[in-house]
Amino acid sequence: MENLNELSEVISQIKEEITNGIEKLENSRMAYEFRKSFMDNKAGKISALMKEMRNIPGEQKAAFGKGINDLKNWAAGKFEEIDAALKAKEAMARYESEKIDVTMPSVKPELGNLHPVTQIRSQITDIFTSMGFEVFEGSEIETDYYNFTALNTPADHPARDMQDTFYLSPGFLLRTQTSSGQIHVMENKKPPIKILSPGKVFRSDDDATHSPMFTQMEGLVVDKGITLSDLKGSLDTLVKKVFGEETTTRFRPSYFPFTEPSVEVDVSCFECGGKGCRLCKGTGWIEVLGAGVVNRKVLKNCGIDPDEYSGYAFGIGIERLAMLKYGINNIKLLYESDLRVLKQINEN
């Protein structure tokens, strides 16, 4: 390039190129590259013009430099303008795509619920603690003494055959009943005693209605003048709350070594109201627990004078209650953690 005329021609060309090129830019990335092709210090077309300076005669240098500078400023303005416009467009597109409708109903997170056995255990605990009972949780590993002997079931007693025991070592076993808790409490506390003892128990037993591990809830009351009618009153309150106000109880004579007299407690069938149905096998009654008046020998074993004090005790199988209440026919369903089953029996 040799003179100003030539320069102004080149400037017009570049301006035209920029004006046309800008029209075709679709995004800020393209705008960046396009700008670079003119303004880049090394490879830019406008920068290259500067290098022509040395070929320009001295008196024209100032005007030449001004021409290029003006072009540079003009181009910078254009590039800035298009860059801002494209970036604004991109931002809008992003806002649009990330738009959140805050009025949309939310996706409800699935809430877990307490296991049916836990629910019944808590319900029974609430009922009895409201009547002044305290909770005592014994240990799952017991000695033969607490699980059997002190409960009036010595080594050769036929009642031991009622329960198949998991022995751990001579003298130690997995408790077969929460009744062992009665002894611990009576050894450590003087009457009046009103305790509830929930927990796992273990028996070598396994079919549709029996599991090697299940849950029991023991109740024990010892005081002056406690009789079978106190037991009846407490259990009536219990079953009305668990199975409904219409429910009543019936005592049938039974045998447990640690109670005398002993009873099996039936509730009037909450399914048919006592008329007879499949659940109660046509009898109108369903057996729910064992109970009785604490055997004098058991009180004596714990250092409590049976002439001064008397008591009642009961033992409830929680899984059995859950099965009756929720219509579950196989105890294993309670332990398989199958959400389809657990969801069906969620009361909340």
User: How many of the chain's residues bind ligand DAH (CB under 6 A)?
Assistant: 11
7 near ligand DAH, judged by CB under 6 A: no
How far apart are alpha carbons 209 and 1 in whole angstroms?
104
Q: What is the nearest approach in angstroms of ligand DAH to the Cβ of residue 296?
A: 14
Q: What is the nearest approach in angstroms of ligand DAH to the Cβ of residue 163?
A: 7
Closer residue to ligand DAH, CB minimum distance, 116 or 199: 199
Going 94 to 98 to 102 to 104, the CA torsion angle's sign is: positive
Q: Rule CB under 6 A: which of 205-224 touch ligand DAH?
A: 218
- 219 in Cβ contact with 179 (< 8 Å): no
10 near ligand DAH, judged by CB under 6 A: no
Q: Rule CB under 6 A: which of 70-99 touch ligand DAH?
A: none
Question: CA-CA distances (angstroms) from residue 270 to 79, 238, 329, 330?
Answer: 84, 14, 16, 19
The overall longest dimension of the chain from CA atoms, in Å, is 134
Of these, 116, 148, 315, 331, which contacts ligand DAH (CB under 6 A)?
Answer: 315
Q: What is the nearest approach in angstroms of ligand DAH to the Cβ of residue 175?
A: 10
177 near ligand DAH, judged by CB under 6 A: yes
- Give 195's contacts (C-beta < 8 A, 6+ positions apart): 133, 134, 135, 136, 181, 185, 218, 219, 220
Of these, 185, 299, 313, 323, which contacts ligand DAH (CB under 6 A)?
Answer: 313
Closer residue to ligand DAH, CB minimum distance, 71 or 315: 315
Query: Interacting stretch for ligand DAH, rule CB under 6 A, among 50-58, 68-76, 93-101, 309-317?
Result: 309-317
- Give 37's contacts (C-beta < 8 A, 6+ positions apart): 43, 44, 45
SS (H, E, C) 269-313: CCCCCCCCCCCCCCCCEEEEEEEEEECHHHHHHCCCCCCCCEEEE
Query: Interacting stretch for ligand DAH, rule CB under 6 A, among 86-94, 99-107, 278-286, 287-295?
Result: 287-295
259 near ligand DAH, judged by CB under 6 A: yes
Strands 259-268 and 141-143: unpaired
| Angle, CA 264 vertex, CA 259 and CA 266 arms, to 5° | 150
Closer residue to ligand DAH, CB minimum distance, 238 or 313: 313
Q: What is the nearest approach in angstroms of ligand DAH to the Cβ of residue 315?
A: 2
Buried b (16+ CB within 10 A) or exposed e, 265-282: bbbbbbbeebeeeeebee
Closer residue to ligand DAH, CB minimum distance, 64 or 219: 219
Query: Interacting stretch for ligand DAH, rule CB under 6 A, among 34-42, 153-161, 237-245, 288-296?
Result: 288-296
256 near ligand DAH, judged by CB under 6 A: yes
Of these, 138, 191, 290, 311, which contacts ligand DAH (CB under 6 A)?
Answer: 290
How far apart are alpha carbons 98 and 110 in whole angstroms?
26
Q: What is the x/- site pattern for ligand DAH, positions 155-174, by CB under 6 A?
A: --------------------
Going 167 to 171 to 174 to 175, the CA torsion angle's sign is: positive
How far apart are alpha carbons 193 and 134 in whole angstroms?
9
Residue 3, φ and ψ in degrees, nearest 5: -145, 180
181 near ligand DAH, judged by CB under 6 A: no
HSE (CB half, 13 Å, CA atoms) of 138? 33
**Closest residue by beta carbon to ligand DAH:** 315
Of these, 292, 301, 304, 310, which contacts ligand DAH (CB under 6 A)?
Answer: 292
Closer residue to ligand DAH, CB minimum distance, 38 or 314: 314
Under the phi-then-psi rule, with left for phi > 0, alpha for psi from -120 to 50, and beta for the rest, what region is 337?
Answer: left
Q: Catalog residues that contact ligand DAH under the rule CB under 6 A.
A: 177, 179, 218, 256, 259, 290-292, 313-315
